[in-house]
C-alpha cells in the first residue's frame, strides 16, 4: 500500500471516530451556544491539539507501555473519569445561572484561552483516545511505515479533529441555536452535565472492572 493509501485509510477511520458523540462534542457545542463562535472555534482548536498529542504518544509507543504497566492505564482512566465527573457537576450546578456573554467591561465571561484549555483538557482526559489511535495505526499501517507517514499523522489528526469540532462550533454558535439554547438553558445544561458525568462514571466503572480481573 502506498503512503497516500495508508494516510487515507487512517484519516477515514479517525474522522468517523471524531464524529461519534462524546464529552468533546457536548463541551464544544455548549461553549459555542453559550458564548460565541470564536470561543467555540478555540475549543475546537484545543480538541485538535489534544488529538495531535495523543497521536504522538501512540506513535511513540504509549500503548506498549500501558500494556506492560497496567496500573498506569487504570490511574489515567480513573483520573480522566474524575475530571469528566467534575466538569459535569460544574455544568449541572451552573444550569440555573443566567448566561452573561460579556462582563461589564466588555470582555467575555469565558475567555478564549480558557475555552481552548477546556477543549484540550477534555480531549486528553480520556486515555482511550490514545489506545484507539494506536489500534487504528496498528491495523492500517505496515510493519515498517514510511517516515513521511509517521511525520504526517500528528498534523493530519490535528486537522481532522479541529475541523470537525469547528463545524460543530459554527453550527451551535448560530443565532438560532443560541436562542434555542437560552430558551431551554436549564434542561440543556442539566442534560449536558449528566451526559459528561455519566461518561466519567463509565470510565471509572471500566477501570474497576479491570481491577477485579
What mean pLDDT do residues 115-127 have? 86
- Arithmetic mean of pLDDT over the chain: 78
What mean pLDDT do residues 2-8 have? 79
pLDDT(98) > 80: no
User: Which residues, at least 6 apart from 81, have a Cβ–Cβ distance to it below 8 Å?
Assistant: 200, 201, 202, 203, 204, 207
pLDDT(194) > 50: yes
What mean pLDDT do residues 68-83 have? 72
- Taking residue 46's Cβ as centre, other Cβ atoms within 10 Å add up to 29
Tell me the C-alpha distance between 162 and 19, whole Å.
Answer: 11
pLDDT of residue 192: 73
pLDDT of residue 181: 66
CA distances from 150 to 51, 145, 198 (A): 15, 7, 35
CB 118 within 8 A of CB 164: no
pLDDT(90) > 90: no
Higher local confidence (pLDDT), 175 or 40: 40
pLDDT of residue 33: 85
| Neighbouring C-alpha atoms within 13 Å toward the C-beta of 181 | 23
Q: Which of 60-74, 90-104, 111-125, 166-180 is predicted with the least confidence, judged by mean pLDDT? A: 90-104
Q: What is the pLDDT of residues 153-191, one digit of tens each?
A: 899 999 999 999 999 999 888 888 767 766 776 777 788
Domain ranges of the chain: 3-12+22-212
pLDDT of residue 106: 40
What mean pLDDT do residues 22-49 have? 89
Amino acid at each position: 500500500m502506498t503512503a497516500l493509501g495508508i494516510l487515507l485509510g487512517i484519516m477515514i477511520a479517525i474522522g468517523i471516530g471524531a464524529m461519534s458523540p462524546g464529552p468533546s462534542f457536548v463541551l464544544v457545542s455548549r461553549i459555542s451556544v453559550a458564548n460565541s463562535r470564536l470561543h467555540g472555534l478555540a475549543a475546537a482548536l484545543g480538541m485538535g491539539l489534544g488529538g495531535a498529542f495523543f497521536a504522538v504518544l501512540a506513535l511513540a509507543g504509549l500503548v506498549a507501555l500501558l500494556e506492560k504497566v497496567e496500573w498506569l492505564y487504570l490511574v489515567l482512566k480513573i483520573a480522566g473519569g474524575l475530571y469528566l465527573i467534575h466538569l459535569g457537576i460544574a455544568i449541572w450546578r451552573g444550569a440555573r445561572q443566567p448566561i452573561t456573554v460579556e462582563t461589564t467591561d466588555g470582555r467575555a465571561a469565558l475567555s478564549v484561552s480558557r475555552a481552548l484549555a477546556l477543549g484540550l483538557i477534555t480531549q486528553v482526559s480520556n486515555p482511550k483516545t490514545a489506545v484507539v489511535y494506536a489500534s487504528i495505526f496498528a491495523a492500517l499501517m505496515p510493519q515498517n511505515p514510511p517516515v513521511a507517514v509517521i511525520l504526517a499523522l500528528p498534523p493530519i489528526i490535528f486537522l481532522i479533529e479541529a475541523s470537525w469540532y469547528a463545524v460543530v462550533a459554527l453550527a451551535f454558535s448560530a443565532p438560532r441555536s443560541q436562542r434555542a439554547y437560552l430558551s431551554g438553558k436549564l434542561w440543556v445544561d442539566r442534560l449536558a452535565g449528566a451526559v459528561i458525568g455519566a461518561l466519567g462514571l463509565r470510565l471509572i466503572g471500566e477501570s474497576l472492572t479491570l481491577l477485579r480481573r
